[in-house]
């Protein structure tokens, strides 16, 4: 029997998707550990045999790494708020002959990975990519973020057990204490290129994940493609409704911010640049 194609929904702010919900896995991790759960499950199911992830370095910064097993996935869990080039690690895996690869990345990197995928298709490649996109309003410069957290909160970010962003608040967990400030107070630490990016929820991914729209301890999951649907099949997790209005609000804000910056750029240069 031929399987009926999934019905897709298109929203001007969220993008095209099959299903949107809030979830929590059995893995300890940022907002329910759903990214870790999907990666571990995908590797167990042999959906992919390697993955490109982002891992925290000893210096406090982050870097793209290749995971070839479950232990590699577990060691890289946790959210990093820094801009990282994952496409170069994907190319490294492709050069090594890997055919089934998962990539976890922010919206700007999702676009780069999709371009690589299109080029592979033109060359009649049989490479299968699974793209897990992360919600992203903006990324931070590691050095500037550490400086701002020290200035605003009086704590060393590198000594923190973990840090997270939820509902516009940046929280640092240090020992048994929590230190918080508004994300808007960290504008000096943001990467400047983020201001012209219009994609909040990684609309070109197979499955998008973030904390916006979910209660603390849960992740919002947006299933966008049949590949994303396949990755979820058989995975054990708690599932509840997500608040779409919160996602739409931030997605609309990021889009309008990018359009505003593009208008200013055109006025200053006389060119016709558009948001990415």
Which among 189, 208, 223 is the end of a domain? 189
Sheet architecture: strand order including 19-24: 62-67, 50-56, 100-105, 128-134, 207-210, 219-223, 19-24, 238-240
Q: Of 97-101, 144-148, 220-224, give the lowest mean pLDDT range.
A: 144-148
Domain membership of residue 169 (yes or no) is yes
| pLDDT tens column, 130-168 | 999 999 988 888 888 889 999 999 988 888 777 888 778
Q: In what order do the strands lie in the sheet with 177-182?
A: 162-166, 169-174, 177-182
How many alpha carbons fall within 13 Å on the CB side of residue 161?
Answer: 9
Can you tell me the distance from the alpha carbon of 168 to that of 211, in angstroms, rounded to the nearest whole number?
A: 11
Strand partners, 177: 174
pLDDT of 61 reads: 67
Contact 216, 243 (CB under 8 A): no
User: Which is more confident, 87 or 29?
Assistant: 87
Residue 274 maps to a domain: no
Q: Are residues 39 and 172 in the same domain?
A: no
Let me know if residue 1 belongs to a domain: no
pLDDT-derived band at 191 (thresholds 50, 70, 90) equals confident
Residue 93 inside a domain? The answer is: yes
Read off the pTM. Answer: 0.86
Pairing of β 207-210 and β 128-134: parallel
* pLDDT tens digit sequence for 259-273: 888 787 677 776 655
96 & 211 share domain:
yes
Residue 1: the pLDDT is: 44
Of 135, 155, 137, 136, nearest in space to 145 by CA = 155
SS3 assignment, position 150: helix
- By CB atoms closer than 10 A (0-12, 13-18, 19+), residue 174 is middle
Residue linked to tokens 């590797």: 43
Residue 158 is part of a domain; what is its CATH number? 3.10.450.750
Together in a domain, 93 and 202: yes
- Asked if residue 147 and residue 134 are part of one domain, the reply reads no
User: Same domain for 226 and 105?
Assistant: yes
C-beta separation of 172 from 179 below 8 A: yes
28 pLDDT tier (thresholds 50, 70, 90): low
DSSP state letters, 38-80: HHHHHHHTTS-SEEEEEEE-TTS-EEEEEE-SHHHHHHT-S--
Residue bearing the bigger pLDDT, 84 or 203: 203
Q: Domain for residue 181, yes or no?
A: yes
Q: Is residue 271 part of a domain?
A: no
Domain identity same for 52 and 72: yes
- Is 145 found in the same domain as 211? no
101 lies in a domain? yes
Is 2 strand, coil or helix? coil
Same domain, 111 and 226: yes
Query: What's the structural domain count of the chain?
Result: 2
Same domain membership, residue 216 and residue 150: no
Whole-number percent of the chain with pLDDT over 90: 55
88 & 164 share domain: no
Domain membership of residue 266 (yes or no) is no
Query: Residue 162 sits in which domain range?
Result: 140-189
Domain boundary, last residue among 189, 205, 220:
189
Q: Residue 217: pLDDT band by 50, 70, 90 thresholds?
A: confident
pLDDT digit string, tens, across residues 33-83? 899 999 999 999 999 999 999 887 665 567 889 999 999 998 887 766 777
Q: How far is CA 126 from CA 61, 108, 172, 238, in A?
A: 34, 24, 43, 34
Residues 119 and 156 in one domain: no
Task: Check whether residue 184 and residue 70 sit in a common domain.
Answer: no
């Amino acid at each position: 029997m031929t399987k009926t194609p999934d019905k897709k929904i298109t929203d001007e702010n969220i993008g095209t998707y099959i299903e949107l919900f809030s979830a929590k896995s059995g893995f300890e991790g940022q907002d329910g550990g759903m990214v870790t759960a999907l990666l571990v499950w995908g590797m167990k199911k042999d959906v992919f045999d390697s993955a490109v992830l982002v891992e925290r370095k000893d210096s406090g910064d982050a870097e793209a790494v290749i995971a070839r097993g479950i232990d590699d996935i577990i060691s890289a869990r946790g959210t990093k708020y820094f801009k990282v080039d994952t496409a170069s690690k994907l190319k490294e895996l492709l050069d090594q002959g890997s055919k089934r690869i998962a990539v976890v990345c922010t919206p700007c990197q999702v676009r780069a990975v999709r371009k690589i995928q299109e080029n592979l298709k033109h060359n009649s490649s049989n490479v299968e990519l699974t793209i897990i996109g992360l919600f992203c309003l903006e990324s931070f410069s590691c050095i500037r973020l550490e400086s701002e957290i020290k200035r605003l909160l009086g704590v060393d970010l590198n000594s923190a057990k973990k840090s997270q962003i939820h509902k516009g608040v940046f929280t640092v967990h240090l020992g048994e204490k929590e230190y918080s400030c508004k994300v808007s107070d960290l504008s000096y630490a943001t990467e400047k290129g983020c201001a012209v990016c219009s994609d909040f929820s990684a609309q070109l991914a197979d499955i998008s994940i973030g904390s916006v729209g979910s209660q603390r301890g849960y992740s919002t999951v947006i299933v966008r493609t049949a590949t994303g649907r396949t990755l979820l099949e058989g995975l054990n997790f708690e599932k509840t409704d997500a608040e779409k209005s919160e996602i739409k609000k931030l997605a609309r804000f990021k889009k309008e911010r990018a359009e505003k910056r593009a208008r200013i750029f055109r006025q200053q240069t006389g060119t016709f640049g558009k948001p990415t």
